[in-house]
Chains A and B, each alone.
Chain A
Amino acid sequence: MTENGRFGLYGGRYVPETLMHALLELEEAYTAASTDEIFRNELDFYLKEYAGRKTPLTYCRNLSAELGCRVYLKREDLLHGGAHKLNNTLAQGLLAKYMGKKKLIAETGAGQHGVATAMAGAVLGLPVEVYMGETDCRRQRLNVFRMEMMGATVHPVTTGTRTLKDAVNEAMRAWVATVEDTAYVLGSVVGPHPYPLMVRDFQSVIGRETREQILTKEGRLPDAVIACVGGGSNAIGIFHAFLADDVRLIGVEAGGTGTGRGEHGATLCAGTPGVLHGALSYLLQDEDGQIEGTHSVSAGLDYPGVGPEHSMLKDTGRVEYHSAGDAEVLNAFFHLSKSEGIVPALESSHAVSYAMDIAGEFGKDDILVICLSGRGDKDVAAVAEMTGGCR
C-alpha cells in the first residue's frame, strides 16, 4: 500500500475533481477512526449487539460425508440482514455520523448491500437513498420491499445495462451533487481509494473469526478457503487473515452461461486491466476500453469490475480464481438446501459449487472452509421462476 491507495499496480483514485475533496476528507476521517477507541468500541457494540457477531463456523456433517473431506461454512448468512454486508455498512454509517454527514447513499446489485445500508441508516438515525438497476429491482423485489420498509428510498436506475455497474454510476452522480452533507456507502472492495482498503478492513472480521474458530475446533488451519467474488468484499474479508499462511485461497467468479462477451461476470478469469469506478483493476472491456455487459444468475456477481486487491492477488498468484456457471450454481443452491437445510444466496452458491467440484482433490482429514456470504431467501422467488418450482 502506498499513499494513493495502490495494491501493486492496482487501485488508485481515478475520479473527477469534484469528488477529490470528499475522498480526501473520507480518507482522513477513516485514518483517524481506525485508531480511535471510542469509534472502535461503538462499532463493536453494533456488531455484537445489533448484527449478531460472532457468526458460527458450522461443521457440515452431511456434506462432509458426501464430499469426503471436512467441510465448514462460515455463516455470514446468519448475520442480521442475511449477508456479510452489514459489517461494512454499520462501520461506514458510523463513520459518516462521526464526520457529521446527514444522509447515506448506496448502490446495490442483489439488494443485500442496499438492505444493509437501510438497516445501518435506521439504527444510526440517518436517511438512506439506494440506487438499484431496474433489472435487479425486478429480480430482487423482496429486497426492494425490505429497504422501503426500513425507510430507505429506492431509485431504480434505467441507464446502461440497468444492473450493478449502472447503479454505481448513478450513485456516484448523486454523490457529486450532494457531497457536502452526504456519505457514499460503497458496498464492496471496489471504487477509489480509500474504499477498497476501508471496506476490506471492515470485512476482515470474517477471516479473523474464522481463523480463531478453526484453530479452536480443529487445532490447525484449514487446507483451503473458498469464497465467491463479484466486487470481492466477502472474499477479501475471509482471505485476509490467511494471506500469510500456507492455506490455499480460492475465489469463484460468475461463469454465467458461457465464455462469450456478455455471457458471464468472470472479471479476473477473463478480463484485462483498466479503470472503472475510480480504480485500476481487472475489467471486462473491449479493445477500446468500453465496458462490456455481463451476465450472472446472481445479481450480486453481475459486475464487470473487481477489487484492486484481488487484481494484485491474482497477479502474484497468492489467490487462485475460477468460475462457476449458472447451471452448476443452481445445482449447488438446491444441493446445500437439501443436504444441510441451509438455503445459500445464489452468490454464495458459486463458492459451494466450486467446493463440490474440487472436493475430490482433498483427503478425508483435509479441511475446507466455504464463506457462506449470504442466505438465499431473497433468491427463492427468482429460482422458483427459473426452474418452474422445486426440483
Chain B
Amino acid sequence: MTRIAEACAGPAFIAFTVAGDPDPGMSVRIARTLIDAGADILELGVPFSDPPGDGPTIQKADERALNAGTTTDTVFSIVREIRAFSDIPIVLLTYFNPVYRRGPDRFYREAHEAGVDGILIADLPVEEADEVVDLSRRYGIDQIFLVSRDTSPKRLKVIARHAGGFLYLVSVHGVTGARPEIPEELPAFIHRVREQTALPLAVGFGISTPDHVSAVCRAGANGAIVGSAIVEIIERNLSREPEMMAGLHAYTSSLTAMKEERSGSSP
C-alpha cells in the first residue's frame, strides 16, 4: 500500500495550497502550518497561467505564485524543503502543459527525486494518460484521477484500472471554489463509485466547513479535500504572516477535529 492509500485509512484530511503562493519561502511555512495543524495529505498546486478548471480564488493564487517567480524548478525545491521536516504524503496537482513542456519523463523523475507521492493532472483524462500512467508506475508515484458525477460506469472502470492513490471525486458541476452547501446527490455519487472500486475515495470542490468535512466522511468517503477556503485565508492576510499562520492553523484544526470525531465514533 502506498503512503497515500495508508493516509486515507484515517479518513484523510487533504489540504491544498498553491506552491509558491504568495512566494516560495512563505509557501513552505504555510505547508508546515497545515501539517502541524493535522493535515494528513498535502496537495500542492503547480501554478499555471491559464487554469480553466479553477475558480477565481485559485486563479489569483496561481498569479501570485507566478508573479513571485515560481517555476517548475521552484515547485520541486519547495517539495524538497518540506521533505526536510515532514514525511506527509505530497500530491502535485498540475495542468498538463507544464508536464508536457518539461518532458513527462523528466517531470516524473524529478518529482520522484524531490519526494512527491502522487500526481494529478487536472486536464488529462484517462484516454490521454497512457504515457504518464506508465511513468508513474516506473517512478513509484500514484497517478490520481478525477471522477465526476457524469463519468459513465464504463469510463469509471477504465479510470479505476489506471488510477493509484485515491480517486478524486468532484462533488459539483463547476470549478474549484468554496460553496455554502455540499450537493444533495453526494452520498449517492460516493456510493455509486464505491461499488466499482476498492480505491480510497476523496471528495473535493466546494468543501469548506467542518460540517462539510463530517458530511463527506459520513457519506463514506475516505478523504475530504479543502483548497479554496485555505487559499482565501492566505489571500486575506498577505502582508500579515503571523495572522495568516494563526488563521490557517485554527481553520485546519477545526476541520481535522471533525474528521477525528467521525473516525472515533466508527472504529
Contact = CB atoms under 8 A, between A and B. Distances in A.
Contacts of B66: 290
A302 to B, nearest CB: 15
Interface string B50-66: 11111110010001001
Contact of B100 (A13, A274, A290): A274
A173 B124 contact: no
A275 B123 contact: yes
Given A13-B128, A289-B102, A276 B59 contact: no
Contact of A14 (B59, B128, B145): B128
Interface in B173-198: 173-175
A179 B53 CA distance: 13
Interface in B87-142: 95-102, 122-125, 127-128
Contacts of B125: 13-17, 20
Interface stretch (B3-11, B148-156, B214-222, B252-260): B148-156
Given A18-B150, A278-B123, A160 B55 contact: no
Contact of A180 (B50, B52, B173, B175): B173
B53 to A, nearest CB: 4
Interface in A13-33: 13-18, 20-22
A4 B124 CA distance: 13
A178 interface: yes
B71 interface: yes
A27 to B, nearest CB: 12
Nearest to B175: A173
Contacts of B151: 17, 20-21
B77 interface: no
A159 B59 contact: yes
B226 to A, nearest CB: 18
Interface string A276-288: 1110100101011
B16 interface: no
A306 to B, nearest CB: 15
A178 B145 CA distance: 22
Contacts of A12: 128
A291 to B, nearest CB: 5
Contacts, number: 116
A150 B229 CA distance: 39
B170 A172 contact: no
Interface string A255-280: 00000000000000000111111101
B49 A277 contact: no
Given A20-B125, A288-B98, A165 B50 contact: yes
A67 interface: no
A384 interface: no
Contacts of B146: 16-18
B30 interface: no
B35 to A, nearest CB: 27
B53 A16 contact: yes
B114 to A, nearest CB: 16
Contacts of B170: 16-18
B101 A274 contact: yes
B50 A291 contact: yes
Nearest to B51: A169
Nearest to A278: B123
A14 B53 CA distance: 11
Q: Which 8 A-B pairs have the closest CB atoms?
A: A289-B101, A21-B150, A17-B146, A177-B174, A289-B97, A172-B52, A289-B98, A16-B53
